Structure 1
Amino acid sequence: MPVPPPILTVTLNPTVDISLEVDRLNDEGKNRARVRSVQGGGGGINVARCIGRLGGSAFALHTYGREVGQRLNRLLDEEGLAHRGIEIGSDTREAVVVAETLAWHSYHLVPPGAELTAIERDRCAEEIIAAAQQGSYLVLTGSVPPGLPEDFCARIVRGIDPSSTRVVLDIAGAQLRAALSENSFAIRLDRREAAGLIGRPVECFEDAQAANDFLLDIGATGNAISTVGALGAVYSNAVFHHRLSAPSPRSPARSDACAGDSLVGAFTFQLAAGADCLHACEYGVAAAAATVMRPGTEVFAPATVDALLPAVRTHRVEREITEHRAVQGLTAAEGP
């Protein structure tokens, strides 16, 4: 009997990603584009792709619907990605990345996706919770379909036995705020979500530390990661902040479309392989840096990640725990 994969990823709102290249976008006439790639996408699918590229074992659970959904399944089958679709009645969305190759500006155009019916939502929740019990990690990431109840992701986390399955969250907006009332093993915030929690832009490591303090103080997680763009990220646990400086790019940045997914994928891959959270996060920062050098929605080459890892610099800062800040965090968590 085959051993179940240790990592389950979930994509509630997948895409068929079409990556195009032009020399330069013009606002008149036709822009004749070259097709760079067409592949299945969405947060959890991208994370599973990253884990597989590193030699890990992941299984992508995702929705799919109608003609575009059938194309998504075919693309994932042809890629060799282990996956299973949950059928819905509406079309899976398509997204477009357009890259200007003369300046390497990249534009990611993503529609909202189809709304799920109440029956489809319940079936998704039941299948996710059942599948998660078979693995060591559940990665819940990416955008959600419009109209999804705000506590949907919180419901998933609540239904998982933390003694057997660790939950890694990389979600946004109302889904994130509702999930903060549960306890996940790790939560990753991008700059926008971190800024929303602390009420100011995240422009430096200190800002990222404040966002991580918020998550830790309210008991949402024991491992918090906030990214700071090209600077890198901060990984925090109960005792220390770790400022992880990203390596200097060896070539110009081309696209950040999958940088966050690369960090989460590499991070979870290392955890499943037995690494501690700090080393796993350092590896994730190297993977994100390797991915921004790739065009469109392409992710890192493993050799590039390994080459960049020694250049990730870690500075440890002891956390200062104050009762006043903990009370502030609890009050903020009760907000809209």
Structure 2
Amino acid sequence: MSDILTVTLNPALDMSSSVDHVRPEDKLRCVLPDLDPGGGGTNVARAIRLLGGHAKAFVALAGYRGQQFAGLLAEEGVEAVPFHIEGETRLSLAVTDAATGEQYRFVMPGPRWTPEEAHRALEAIADNAPKGGYVVLSGSQPPGVPVHFPTQLAAAVEEAGAKLVLDTSGAPLRALLGVGSARQHVLRLDGAESEDLAGRALPEIGDVAEFAHGLVTRGVAEVVVLALGEKGSLLAQDGHCWHAQTPPVRVKSKVGAGDSFVGAFTLALSRGATWETALADGVAAASAAVMSDATALCLPGDVARLAGAVEVTSV
């Protein structure tokens, strides 16, 4: 099996709870909260561990909450590669209104990086990149980190003999359009990000496939994966395109669905799976994640059951 290194530049200590009803002004008495180490790459590593794989988690940690974060990772059996920075690791709060089932999510700001910290992070990630394996950069980018960091990392990972799986958004995602070589091995984005990047609506599967093929043709990435919510995901690669979808599931929380997808998808690739199989595994994990409560990720039993029901079609 190839090694996997996940990268989280902007981790969050995830706190989740519930209350009878959310209303203004009143002091709301919540139930005992759950506390989890969160952030894109961290959740990818956690999902991989849940599915029987192993990934190291490169994570930028700061302050007291950073120490808490490291302790929670250790409790879960996830091997951490800590990268220490100044400031305080951010806090994310999710509160569910028990009366309506609606979830309210509050995300606090994290540290602002210096150019020196960003440069050190590039070097440290390259030093830890598994030769012949995969590096997964997932999650939001902290303030102060250069917008072209993903492209710089792709070059460093390629030089180290690994492949980059990128799941990003916003300005760093838009900056990829100016890159002239396919240095991102896999680029994953969701529906809203796809339409933002395309500058137009993508209402049909055919529209999504055309856009994904266009990104591959332009050299933005070798492989493009577009998440379509309850409609599954689509993958484009070298003139081929597949769409995968599970049967409908009951949605409890959408938190962690994308990270569960990336975890299962990358784990499958590391085990030598075909693109179709990796896509199916990712879709099964994403659907399993939305069946879980609050910030919980995919459960192995749900993934195994859904994997057998995934429908993969050529587009």
Q: Please give the residue correspondences for 1:227-246 in structure 2 after superposition, counting only pairs within 5 Å.
A: 227-246=227-246
Q: 1:104 aligns with which of 101, 106, 109?
A: 101
Distance 2:61 2:219 in 1: 34
Residues 71-127 of structure 1: CA deviation (Å, up to 9, x unaligned): 111111122211121111110100011112333222222223211112211111110
2:13 aligns with 16
Q: Provide the TM-score with structure 1 as the length reference.
A: 0.88
Distance 1:57 1:19 in 2: 26
Structure 1 window deviating more from structure 2 (51-60 vs 162-171): it is 162-171
Q: Provide the TM-score with structure 2 as the length reference.
A: 0.94
3-state SS of paired residue (1:30): coil
CA contact (8 A) 1:205 1:233 kept: no
CA contact (8 A) 2:129 2:160 kept: no
2:201 aligns with 201
1:43 aligns with 40
* CA separation of 1:278 and 1:163: change in aligned 2, threshold 3 A: farther
Asked if 1:34 corresponds to 2:31, the answer is yes
Asked if 1:60 corresponds to 2:46, the answer is no
- Deviation of the 1:198 alpha carbon: 1.4
* CA separation of 1:257 and 1:204: change in aligned 2, threshold 3 A: farther
CA contact (8 A) 2:264 2:282 kept: yes
RMSD, matched Cα? 1.8
Q: Please give the residue correspondences for 1:141-160 in structure 2 after superposition, counting only pairs within 5 Å.
A: 141-160=138-157
Residues 127-157 of structure 1: CA deviation (Å, up to 9, x unaligned): 0111114460000110011122111111110
- Deviation of the 1:162 alpha carbon: 6.5
Q: 1:287 aligns with which of 285, 288, 292?
A: 285
1:259 aligns with 257
Distance 1:128 1:99 in 2: 36
* CA separation of 1:28 and 1:196: change in aligned 2, threshold 3 A: same
Q: Which amino acid aligns with 1:223?
A: V
Q: Which amino acid aligns with 2:191?
A: R
Unaligned runs of 5+ in 1: 318-336
* CA separation of 1:27 and 1:228: change in aligned 2, threshold 3 A: same
Asked if 1:300 corresponds to 2:298, the answer is yes
* CA separation of 1:163 and 1:73: change in aligned 2, threshold 3 A: closer
3-state SS of paired residue (2:81): strand
3-state SS of paired residue (2:96): strand
- Deviation of the 1:36 alpha carbon: 4.0
1:188 aligns with 188
CA contact (8 A) 2:115 2:144 kept: no
Q: Which amino acid aligns with 1:258?
A: G
3-state SS of paired residue (1:306): helix
CA contact (8 A) 2:134 2:270 kept: yes
Structure 1 window deviating more from structure 2 (137-146 vs 164-173): it is 164-173
Residues 247-297 of structure 1: CA deviation (Å, up to 9, x unaligned): 210xx3111111000100000010111101111011100110010011211
CA contact (8 A) 1:197 1:214 kept: no
3-state SS of paired residue (1:56): coil
- Deviation of the 1:163 alpha carbon: 8.4
Structure 1 window deviating more from structure 2 (98-107 vs 267-276): it is 98-107
What is the number of equivalent residue pairs in this alignment?
312
Distance 1:149 1:163 in 2: 21
* CA separation of 1:269 and 1:109: change in aligned 2, threshold 3 A: same
* CA separation of 1:135 and 1:86: change in aligned 2, threshold 3 A: farther
Identity %: 36
